[in-house]
Structure 1
Amino acid sequence: MNCTNAFKIISLVIDGEASEYQKRLLDFHLLGCSSCRKAMSMCRDISEIAGKLPAPVPPEDLESNIREMLKTKADISHQEHRFRSAFLAFPAVAALLIFALAVLPLSTEQEFITETQGIAMSVHESKSADIHLSQKSAIRTAPLSDYSRQASLISF
């Protein structure tokens, strides 16, 4: 054991937190190291003197000061959070609006009904039960059972 490790164990021994193994290692080291023996003696003396000191008395208004500081900090962080939320919400709404206008088809209610009827007709006219073909676009979709596990279909 070197002196650096011994000094760490000295603190543990004085605080009463060292294991028996650590105490034996330190005792063995102290037999051959006079500087660590002096350090052990000094640390014990300091610990005894510190133990005799009276406990510090906090000011009477400490609790009210802390509560006031916490309230002020909470108010500031709440205002910052609201500003940050509003600041981030604007780009999100703008991106969603751009996505809706650019990607989603702009159709009237009549076009939607016609398209839905066309898809329904193509499903009934399809000779294969596994693949459905939309009339407007050549997108092939598999039935719902291909996208989920059988156990999840049964549990419904």
Structure 2
Amino acid sequence: MGDVEMNCTDALKLIDLAVDGEATKEQRNVLAFHLNGCPSCRKAMTVTEAISRETGNLEEPSPPENLLEHVMARVESGNYDKSPLSKTAIPQITWKIAAAIPFVAAAVLILGNLNGSTQSPVIASSKTVKTESYNEDIYTPAPVVAYSRPSSVTTF
């Protein structure tokens, strides 16, 4: 980091170090220089500081008092590699039901075409939808220049 130039990728790495208090003085100076000219990294710094501040205010979670007893009982029972959820807690689809799904879908398609139409029901129903003519005066797209971003010293 001897050179003064920095891109946003490097700055984002330094933001984490600076917020955690692990950045050197030189790294903080280079980061400050970059943040002066980069609004997106300034916003990232603000968000990272806010997250760090809020997570610092959280209480330390405490495990249940009987956690060790439950874990040791499970290890001693030999059931530690099996799921504690019962098999009825998560319904499982059997291969018979899975095999029946394509046949049910085929039956629905066949019954849907029994009305004598050779056309797909989706295409037939789309012809009945009334559409209004497109009015070009309502919407004019922006020129291509509006979608491009001018180049800058920093790269993303």
Larger of the two Rg values belongs to structure: 1
Q: Tell me the TM-score normalized by structure 2.
A: 0.42
TM-score, scaled to structure 1: 0.42
Q: Which has a greater percent of helix?
A: 1
